[in-house]
């Protein structure tokens, strides 16, 4: 790993690293916040998955999570949202497909299959690297926003025992039934909708082998709520399958990082309890 930058923050340290990803076959950048406790012993990690158009920088600069993470003794790892600079035709043509829009799936369609394997990257490769090279433990939680909320939900639902807890802000809950998800899945996975279902949280709930409680925050003034996000579909699936979900609807909040910053401490506390930090 190549250290790109380091900043002191709440007596901890924010770092950016570059490394060669074997899974994605390209150079990748990720960020990590190490709380002050990491100087004495390995600390548990919250993996944060960001939304469309984001890099590792959006959450770290806008969410205001470091203060509470420092108090709790929790590291935060924030990967990028897609491969970058792999020069695939059309990868920079739109905000919701290609660069900045990996959708946390393993692409099977060409030319995307060689590089766009973000599911394997965030679930397996990046945690293995972080746990081998940094003062963190193998105690993990996962959270995210929008496309990243979708990523967090499927990562937890598809990998029983891997995470201690999961939460999401305004996640894409039913991607097979919304324009963002349909565009991404068709492009990355082809037209076999059985394959699409493997990356849809609402469709994964009935067969989930682990029942981690889901904490989801959603703003009522979110401009994408009705067309893209469908939290009611996930809630209905959870009710039918008796899978615990806490869906909190917040009046007047939109899809922005102002919304995330307003409630991030509560999510960190949720994960801290599961990680044994509270």
Report the C-alpha gap between 18 and 1 in whole angstroms: 6
Give the active site residue among 21, 141, 146, 165: 146
CATH for 2-273 is 3.40.50.1820
Low-confidence ranges of the chain (pLDDT < 70): none
Residue 210 DSSP symbol: S
Give the active site residue among 165, 222, 233, 267: 222
- Is 132 buried (19+), middle (13-18) or exposed (0-12) by CB count in 10 A? exposed
First vs last C-alpha separation in the chain: 32
* pLDDT at 103 (0 to 100): 98
To the query of whether residue 222 is one of the catalytic residues in this protein, the response is: yes
Report the C-alpha gap between 57 and 132 in whole angstroms: 23
Report the C-alpha gap between 119 and 76 in whole angstroms: 18
CA-derived radius of gyration, the chain: 17
Interval 200-220: pLDDT, tens: 999 999 999 999 999 999 999
Q: Tell me the two tokens of residue 265.
A: 């401490």
* pLDDT at 40 (0 to 100): 97
To the query of whether residue 93 is one of the catalytic residues in this protein, the response is: no
Give the active site residue among 255, 267, 270, 271: 255
* pLDDT at 278 (0 to 100): 78
Interval 31-64: pLDDT, tens: 999 999 999 999 999 999 999 999 999 999 999 9
């Amino acid at each position: 790993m190549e250290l790109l930058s380091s900043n002191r923050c709440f007596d901890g340290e924010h770092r950016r690293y570059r490394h060669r990803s074997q899974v994605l076959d390209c150079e990748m950048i990720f960020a990590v916040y190490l709380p002050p406790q990491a100087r004495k012993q390995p600390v548990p990690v919250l993996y944060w998955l960001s939304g469309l158009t984001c890099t590792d920088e959006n959450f770290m600069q806008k969410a205001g999570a470091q203060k509470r993470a420092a108090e709790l003794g929790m590291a935060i790892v924030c990967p990028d949202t897609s491969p970058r600079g792999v020069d695939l035709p059309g990868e920079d043509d739109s905000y919701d497909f290609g660069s900045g829009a990996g959708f946390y799936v393993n692409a099977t369609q060409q030319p995307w299959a060689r590089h766009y394997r973000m599911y394997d990257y965030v679930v397996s490769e990046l945690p293995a690297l972080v746990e081998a090279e940094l003062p963190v433990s193998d105690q993990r939680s996962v959270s995210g926003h929008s496309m990243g909320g979708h990523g967090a939900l499927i990562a937890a639902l598809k990998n029983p025992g891997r995470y201690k807890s999961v939460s999401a802000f305004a996640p894409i809950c039913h991607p097979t039934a919304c324009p963002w998800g349909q565009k991404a899945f068709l492009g990355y996975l082809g037209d076999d909708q059985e394959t699409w279902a493997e990356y849809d949280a609402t469709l994964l709930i009935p067969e989930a082998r682990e029942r981690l409680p889901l904490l989801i925050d959603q703003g009522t003034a979110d401009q994408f709520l009705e067309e893209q996000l469908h939290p009611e579909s996930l809630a209905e699936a959870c009710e039918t399958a008796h899978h615990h979900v806490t869906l909190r609807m917040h009046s007047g909040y939109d899809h922005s990082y102002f919304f995330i910053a307003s409630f991030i401490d509560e999510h960190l506390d949720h994960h801290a309890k599961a990680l044994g930090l509270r």
